[in-house]
Structure 1
Amino acid sequence: MSNLDPPVTLCVSLSGKTAGLDCGNNYPRKTTPGLCAGCTLCLNLSAADLDRVSAYPRCVDCGAMYRSMTHRRGNDYLCAKCANVGAPPPPPNPTQDQQLLHRTNRMANVASHKPNAATIDKLQTGGSGATMGMSANICVTAFLSGGNGKAVVLGSGMMMEMFNINAFMEDDVLEHFIKRVNVSWDARHEHSLTIDDVILRYHNNGDISTPLTGLTIRQFTDLSASAPLAKGIPSSIPAQTRKVVGVWPTFQAFEMHIQKDLYTRRTGEDVKMGGKNSTPAQGPKRKASGSLTAASVAKRGRNEASSAFVPVISQFVPRVAGAKSGAKTSVNLEVIGVTVDETTGEVRRNLRDRVPFGAASLHDTSLASGSMKTVHVLETSNATFVAKRFHQIAASEGGDVDVTVSENDGCIFEEVELLGQATYFLAEFYKRAKEARTYTQDLAELSYTTFHLCREVVPDDGEPTPASAVPADQIDAARTEGVTWLVEPYRPGRTIKFVGTLNHAAGLHNGKIAATVHAFIHFAYEFSNKSLVLVDVQGTKVNLGGSIKHVLFDPMAHTTSGESGPGDHGVKGIQDFLATHTCNGKCKDLKLQPLEPASDDEGVDSENDGE
């Protein structure tokens, strides 16, 4: 080294590309020329990431920066390595250039590596003839750490995964396990966990002194091999598994500590999830009756049989959920063109724009029937759908009346209008989320069902299908216009109702999905100029292209006009929404206007009171 070269302990830029990015501090234990580890970490960060990372503690001896640094010398921070004053100076880091290159490529979004873009499937090589030297078994146990210093194991328990040793510790490994924990976390919380909420430690709560940012598993292993707590296998791993996973360095065991205070500070939400052995509160148990007393029930062992029993004989045949059985009839359907204006959300149908649906069969027996609609299975050669029609509507003077062909047509198109408007509102909702720069990973993925507006065509010499339940004398004189159907993809599964018709309280369901739905309803009310409230919101969880989404269907609404279709309670329904909706964290993230119930003297009968 020339006498003119800066000392290796000084953080200074050695390249025009990094000019002005050095802190200029002197670190006595810094062993590589150029930028210190902290400035290297901050290199090429976005403004948002730089604000976050710049708050990390920095070691005064070597310049390292990481969130979980706890050692102190007076008021100064020390990393774990520098805190051990008896240890020799750390050797030069041979991977610094690789880390710089990785961070540069990462921020530039080049093809070599994008944040969170590398999937586990691409990284795992264990199933394709990989050798032990090219893969690592990673074991992570999730803990919930509170302000009192205690930690409990989360319900996800011990998780194990095999990774390619060139996978990145943060972008690939840590993000993967955070995603796995979020499966149960999101069921009780409005916000998903992020990397800012967790601290990774060795098993037995061992401190990790090596910053993880930009390091691959191979690099992390090389830098951490001397750490005493980095070796060994947790006793919680079954003995048979211990034989399979091997020993260091092909196996690494960590604890992922979820910090309650960090999560609450970031989201404003209290942590609601307990430990592995915690269970949700249950309602009161039913009292024992008959010949068994409460005491005998309490004392009887789990596997203890009663002294005498008589088998119950039954010929009951349970109905399989979503079963498709029974006779079916060929049906000729035409798809009517429907358009939604991307600017105004106006929904139109063009009765002259018709195309054949294709060969299909309609089941004669309904799959399900509610108070107003009937659902039948519609099958083609390569797909299954459901076809919906109205069979009853509420009469203006009270009670229910059977619908005619024309009334059904009107009700079906009103639902199509709501589907188109709701889809339009949902697209604008996610645009708003991007503009507000809210945590996009904290919004559940919602979508409204795709649909076809179809009309049954009755042949001149034929009859309406049995499913239409329409007498032949109700078909028009030309005997071509039959029942109008709303056709949607068939999605078996449990239907989740998030809000009712006149109750928008958040108690039906909790978690990220429910919070997203409530925020969306709030947004749609504002975006419609306070003229519409979506109600009776329900959906089904589906897997679309490997991504879990909730598909919503059967929309209803309260409007200022009271004419959006069956179930529209008009201004009274809107005021019920204002009285029962409670803004959640997502409403605040999206900067939506707080809602207040209408005052008692405003009345509920006038359309002018809708706002």
Structure 2
Amino acid sequence: PTGPSKPPGLSVAESHRERTDAVRQRMKLQPASNHHAGLSGTSLNTATLLAHQSAGGSPGEQKAMVCWQVRVSNNPKQINNDLPYGNKPWAYSVWLSDIKEHVLQQIAGDWNRNGAAPLKTEEVSFRWSGNRVFEKDTSTMKLGDFVAFHQTPTMSFYLEKVPPVWKSHAKGKAPCLCFELYVDHHSYSKRLRKAARHRAGAASDSDGSDEDDDPSTDAMVRSMVRGAPKRSRPLEDSSEANKPTIQKRSDITLKQIKCIVNNENGQYEFEDTNVVVKGAIRDKPFSSGAMKHVYDLHGLDGKSYVAKRFYRISENETAHDPLFDDEESRIAATVPIEDNEVQLQCKLARLAWGRWFLQKFYAHARSVNVHVDSDIAFAGAFLGKEIECPSRASGVDTIDEDTKGLTWLIEDRRPQTVIRFSGTLDHRTLRRDLRSATISAFAHFVWGASHRNFVFADLQGTPHPVRGKDGLILFDLMTHSLAGDTGVGDFGREGILTFLRDHSCNTVCRDLGLDRSMPLEFAESDNPQSSSGEDEE
């Protein structure tokens, strides 16, 4: 069978074509045919990729005023006067974690002044004014749910305490929330010390002795945490930034396809659910990664979704292609519809695998009575194949017997804040908290539970309620497999070797017995010519 015909002006590497065919065969998909050589993409161009305006919410949506100042843990008794403060109205539908990320970006310029290393989102948290911590399991709420929780008689005292600097804002009709962005300077400094040790080539043990007093890195850390000039100033969004932009949508009708995993052996298959999802999708993406665009989708069922599609499927083949030199070109970029569908099927299968392995991991932890972070879950998702009339975002002119509709990966809308735990080829852990240790141990468990056939990479998540608690939703992961056929980003044996090289067992790994039962080496049958150590050389 032949693959899709090559579209004019689009260079697709033969190595990638072979990989796509291998993935198609592995997943038992129908071979591509020439009459399905449609393109995914959009014919709509724009001078710039418009920023997604989550702060405003829907027209007429209720809002609350969020005011903030900064407190740093190395001087916890007072507000930090070196850093700015500010206030802004936010829609009830916005996640608190996204508001926190916005505030973090607001102080970044002053914090990074004179060369200080940037803060990470997991090193800061919201607190109430007066350094009062949030009630348990409220920090991942949407703003409206958070306000409703604190308007109850037993919680209203949080809203009633207003610092003098915000008294005028508290007189308005909208609820006024007076927060502090609390910077965990201890965790921040510890991360810099560990990073410095890695750069210095020092042996690293993720559960070794405390490094806080290591004189070899103290000077470097001090140079990276120098403060800004002592000047406190208010920050408010400029009128230009607050100007509303006109966003356009088109109707979209999707046939829902889910990935079903056999609970006994982990084998998966795709199932047409006979469910049709209707909604309206933005014409332009609100976010773009190295290979995918992300669009805002409002369902007629009242749910908010994100819709993802590939605009390229190999970094190497377009590394020096002028097609990707600017945002306008990236929005208009295309890949064959068949290839987009196959790779999205791989993405959905990875999420399904993740959920299956996580269930097994938690079951193992319970069986040996080991405490792990149990408030972690994988994102729910499905494939949506356009039927009837194509959306403008798809770039497809018509859907008929000769042209298939574009396939999208559809996920529930989540906060945009992302916490990363590993990269594609970098699996080192620089944090020691229970959540990081649990995810690192989970990655080790997957290596052993897959009979040493593959590993998870690019483990990342967003703060989100999980079973009513402040949890984490993992999404958009990658895999490296011995066969190298699990989709874009699978570096095969080379990718697995990076995990075996980087992973260092922590206390969770050892308490679960993974260091003994699941060795970080290839099975003998998978390594007939040399040991893994010789290969790494």
Question: TM-score with structure 1 length normalisation?
Answer: 0.45
Matched with 1:329 is 250
How far has the Cα of 1:477 moved from its partner?
Answer: 2.8
What is the alpha-carbon root mean square deviation over aligned residues? 4.1
Return the index of the structure with the highest Cα Rg. 1
Tell me the SS of whatever aligns to 1:408: helix
C-alpha displacement at 1:510, in angstroms? 3.5
CA deviation map 1:111-146 (0-9, x unaligned): xxxxxxxxxxxxxxxxxxxxxxxxxxxxxxxxxxxx
- Structure 2 equivalent of residue 197 of structure 1: none
Number of aligned residue pairs: 312
Number of the residue aligned with 1:346: 267
Partner of 2:297: 378
Of 367, 379, 383, the match for 1:453? 383
Judge conservation of contact 2:250–2:282 (CA < 8 Å) in 1: yes
Match of 2:366 among 427, 431, 434: 434
Does 2:241 match 1:317? yes
Instruction: After TM superposition, give the deviation of residue 407 of structure 1 in Å.
Output: 0.7
Q: 1:600 to 1:567 in 2, by over 3 A?
A: same
1:477 aligned to 394, 397, 401, which one? 401
Larger RCO (alpha carbons 8 Å, 6+ apart): 2
Give ranges in structure 2 of 5+ residues lacking alignment: 1-72, 78-121, 124-205, 322-332
Query: Is 1:405 paired with 2:405?
Result: no
2:316 and 2:212 map into 1 onto residues whose CA distance is 48
The answer to whether the Cα contact below 8 Å between 1:531 and 1:559 also exists between their aligned partners in 2 is yes
Choose from 538, 547, 552 the match for 2:469.
Answer: 547
Q: Does structure 2 conserve the Cα–Cα contact (< 8 Å) formed by 1:362 and 1:376?
A: yes
- 1:602 maps to which of 517, 530, 537: 530
AA of the residue aligned to 2:392: P
Hey, what's the Cα distance between the residues in 1 that align with 2:219 and 2:419?
A: 20
Query: C-alpha offsets along residues 457-476 of structure 1, whole Å, 9 cap, x if unaligned?
Result: 133xxxx212113354xx55
Contact 1:493 1:540 in 2 (8 A): yes
Compared CA separation, residues 602 and 447, structure 1 to 2 (3 A):
same
**1-structure distance, mates of 2:378, 2:245:** 24
User: For residues 346 and 283 of structure 1, do their structure 2 counterparts lie closer, same or farther at Cα, with a shift above 3 Å needed?
Assistant: farther
Q: How many Å separate the matches in 1 of 2:76 and 2:512?
A: 31
- Residues in 1 aligned to 2:232 and 2:500: alpha-carbon distance in whole angstroms: 53
Residue 356 of structure 1 deviates from its aligned partner by: 0.9
What are the superposed Cα offsets for residues 378-404 of structure 1, whole Å, 9 maximum, x if unpaired?
A: 102421010111110117867578411
**Distance in 2 of aligned mates of 1:343 and 1:517:** 23
1:394 aligns to what SS in structure 2?
Answer: coil
Match of 2:353 in 1: 421
Q: Which residue of 2 aligns with 1:467?
A: 393
8 A Cα contact 2:377 2:466, kept in partner: no
Instruction: Say whether the 8 Å CA contact 1:436–1:591 is kept in structure 2.
Output: no
Match of 1:487 in 2: 410
- The code of the aligned residue for 1:470 comes to V
Instruction: Measure how far apart 1:325 and its partner are.
Output: 6.6
Q: Which residue of 2 aligns with 1:364?
A: 283
**Residues 376 and 466 of structure 2 are in contact (CA less than 8 Å); yes or no, is this contact kept in structure 1?**
no
State the shift of 1:355 in Å: 1.5
State the TM-score, normalizing by the size of structure 2: 0.51
Q: 1:259-274 to 2 correspondence within 5 Å?
A: none
Q: Deviations over 1:312-366 (max 9, x none)?
A: x9885279xxx99711111111112431100111110134x42212x31111110
Shift of 1:555: 1.5
> What is the SS of the residue equivalent to 1:588?
helix
Q: Distance in 1 between matches of 2:245 and 2:445?
A: 38
Amino acid corresponding to residue 223 of structure 2 in structure 1: P
Question: Quick one: distance in 2 between partners of 1:489 and 1:403?
Answer: 24
Assess if the C-alpha contact under 8 Å between 1:337 and 1:354 holds in 2.
Answer: no
Which residue is 1:583 aligned to?
505
Deviation per CA, 1:568-610, whole angstroms, max 9, x where unpaired?
0000000111011100000011111354467997388x9xx99
The answer as to whether partners of 1:499 and 1:537 remain within 8 angstroms in 2 is yes
Q: Match of 2:394, as an amino acid?
A: S
